[in-house]
Amino acid sequence: MKKRNLSMIEYFNCKAESIQPRYRFSGSSKEDFIKWKSALLAELKQIFGQMPQSVPLNPEIVWEIEEDGLIKRRVIFDTEEDMSVAALIYIPIATRRKPCPAILCNHGHAFSPFGKDLVMGVRNDGCPEFASDIEVFNCDYGLQMAKRGYVTMAIDYRGFGERGDGGDPYPGRDKCNVHFIRGNLMGSNLLALNIWDAQRCLDYLCSLDFVNADKIGAMGLSFGGTMTTWITLLDERIKAADIICYSCCFKNFAVADGNFCGSQYLPGLFAICDVPDLHGLI
Total Cβ atoms within 10 A of residue 256? 16
Q: So what's the pLDDT on residue 126?
A: 63
pTM over cut 0.85: yes
* Domain boundaries of the chain, sorted by first residue: 60-280
DSSP of 154-192, one letter per residue? EEPPTTSGGGSTTS-SSTTS-HHHHHHHHHHHTT--HHH
Q: So what's the pLDDT on residue 72?
A: 97
Residue numbers of the chain with a pLDDT score lower than 70: 96, 111-112, 125-126, 128
Q: So what's the pLDDT on residue 37?
A: 97
Q: So what's the pLDDT on residue 171?
A: 87
Q: Which CATH class is domain 60-280?
A: alpha beta
Q: In angstroms, rounded to a whole number, what is the distance separating the alpha carbons of residues 174 and 176?
A: 5
Integer CA distances (angstroms), 257 to 13, 17, 241, 266, 279, in order: 10, 14, 26, 18, 21
Q: So what's the pLDDT on residue 138?
A: 84
**Contact present, 266 and 16 (Cβ < 8 Å):** no
Q: So what's the pLDDT on residue 123?
A: 77
What is the per-residue pLDDT across 108-127, written as a single tens digit (0 to 9) for each?
987 667 889 999 998 776 67
Quickly list H helices, 107-157: 116-119, 128-137, 141-147
Q: In angstroms, rounded to a whole number, what is the distance separating the alpha carbons of residues 90 and 199?
A: 18
